[in-house]
Amino acid sequence: MIYSRILLIVGGGIAAYKACELVRLIRKAGMGVRCVVTEGGREFVTPMTLAALSENRVFTSLFDLTDETEMGHIQLSREVDLVVVCPATADLLAKMAAGIADDLATTLLLATDKPVLAVPAMNVRMWEHAATRRNVERLRGDGVVVMEPDEGEMACGEFGAGRLPEPEAILAEIHRHLPSTHSEPVEGRAEGPSLAKQVSATRQFARPLQSLPGKHIIVTAGPTYEPIDPVRYLANRSSGRQGFAIAEALAALGARVTLVAGPVSLHTPPGVTRVDVETAREMAEAVDAALPADAAILVAAVADWRAEAAPAKIKKGDRGPPALALVENPDILASLAASPQRPALLVGFAAETCDVIAHARAKLARKGCDWIVANDVSGDVMGGDANTVHLVSAEGVESWEEQPKIVVARKLADRIARALMARAARP
């Protein structure tokens, strides 16, 4: 069995509650997780909650380790593939930087020989303080991966950088920093009764790294905005998360990725070239400018129609609502399929609300692409963290169970890599 094991250290701070969702996502991605909670962390989340979610015992003190006579803290820190500190408070970061080992969490961090990922969460002033910046730089110099916090409104009422990133983003960072060869389970050490059922789902991640070097792949993501006047526009609820996750997964495999993004507020994935656009016509032009490419994955929810935008704001009047003259937008997928520079692999997405597979099959035939990835968006998929998709091709339909979008992205990236390698091997 090949799967990954995470040691999650939960620091004190209001953001500790998000550790519960992170544990759930880690387990759903098919990984084992053990939790250590600091004294401050226990003020915000109970060990019982984390134990139920992880299906493993939770440790809070050095004296929890019944085999401490055999240096249990050493074993606990080394029988995993990655150590994640979330949330990493200013105090915890300072102790890590100084090499202090005065409780179980800091002792494990000093004893581990595994990669460490720290996810900061604190007040904006604390994050910007010279001492914190100095500690972060020192940790990064020591090889610790320190994520950048999100910006936004905080529990204290202030606004700025310091919010804990969303669990989905943390999961993506975990995937990025896992070793390429996962560890075998330790014989006789239970990882939770249901984990064995999830192991088969993680076999898809046991693939060679950098399987797409030299390949150029275009990915589109997000919505398009079609202006009605200088104030209003036609749009949809696409968050861009699935497309960004796919771009990130492909870049992690060594591909040169051009991400053509509609108006979204997501961070650019590492190693990805981003082109920001707003309208469908701008997206079509950006895709055309990015050619040639070995593959194109068109995830964006492009508006089918646009209005002839008014030069000034449309005002209310006695004649009722204005009539909008709609014009059909360019069909990027169909145009790319008919292009002399058609990529070797062309993948479209279909967001449907009924008869998902039937509509996807019809779209596959109508557009002339190789695959359609179809999903039912009648629920909260748009803007949500998870997705249930059907991969439709000339060979048939493959339905995937609901998974976090980052897991869907990694699975699809693996299929893309295999398909491109198979095409390259043909005489």
**Homologous superfamily of the 5-205 domain (CATH):** Flavin prenyltransferase-like (3.40.50.1950)
Angle between the N-to-C axes of helices 104-111 and 90-98, in degrees from 0 to 180, rounded to the nearest 10: 40
Token match 């803290």: residue? 73
Size of the chain, expressed as the number of residues it contains: 427
Residue 425 CB contacts under 8 Å (≥ 6 apart), including other chains: none
For residue 370, what are the CA distances in angstroms to 51, 214, 253, 349? 44, 21, 21, 11
Question: What are the residue ranges of helices labelled H in 99-240?
Answer: 104-111, 124-128, 130-141, 167-177, 195-202
Residue 166 CB contacts under 8 Å (≥ 6 apart), including other chains: 18, 150, 385
Q: What is the mean pLDDT of each run of 10 residues along the chain (427 residues)?
A: 79 92 89 93 93 91 59 73 96 96 93 94 94 96 94 79 91 80 35 34 39 92 95 90 93 93 91 95 97 97 91 81 88 97 96 91 96 86 77 94 87 93 80
Q: What is the pLDDT of residue 261?
A: 97
> Which residues pair with residue 118 across a beta bridge?
85, 146
pTM higher than 0.75 for the full model?
no
Report the alpha-carbon distance of residue 319 to residue 153 in Å, rounded. 43
Q: What is the pLDDT of residue 2?
A: 41
**What is the per-residue burial (b if ≥16 Cβ within 10 Å, else e) of 337-365?**
beeeebbebbbbbbbbeeebbebbbebbe
Q: Where in the chain is the domain with CATH 3.40.50.1950?
A: 5-205
244: tokens are 């960004």
Q: Which residues are catalytic?
A: 156
Token match 């070239």: residue? 273
**Whether 184 contacts 81, CB under 8 Å:** no
Residue 352 CB contacts under 8 Å (≥ 6 apart), including other chains: 359, 360, 374, 375, 376, 377
Report the alpha-carbon distance of residue 227 to residue 351 in Å, rounded. 22
> What DSSP string runs through 326-360?
EEEPP-HHHHHHHSTT--SEEEEEEEESSSHHHHH
The helix or strand, by DSSP H or E, that contains position 250, with its residue range, turns out to be helix 241-252
Report the alpha-carbon distance of residue 106 to residue 115 in Å, rounded. 15
- Maximum CA extent, the chain: 85
Q: What is the pLDDT of residue 65?
A: 55
Q: Which contacts qualify for 95-98: CB closer than 8 Å, 24 or more apart?
A: 96/135, 96/139, 96/144, 97/134, 97/135, 97/136, 97/138, 97/139, 97/142, 98/135
The helix or strand, by DSSP H or E, that contains position 89, with its residue range, turns out to be none
**Whether 269 contacts 259, CB under 8 Å:** yes
**What is the per-residue burial (b if ≥16 Cβ within 10 Å, else e) of 381-396?**
bbeebbbbbbbbbeee
Cα–Cα nearest to 3, from 23, 38, 29, 25: 29
Question: What are the residue ranges of helices labelled H in 275-404?
Answer: 280-290, 332-338, 356-367
**Homologous superfamily of the 216-311+322-425 domain (CATH):** CoaB-like (3.40.50.10300)
Angle between the N-to-C axes of helices 167-177 and 18-28, in degrees from 0 to 180, rounded to the nearest 10: 50
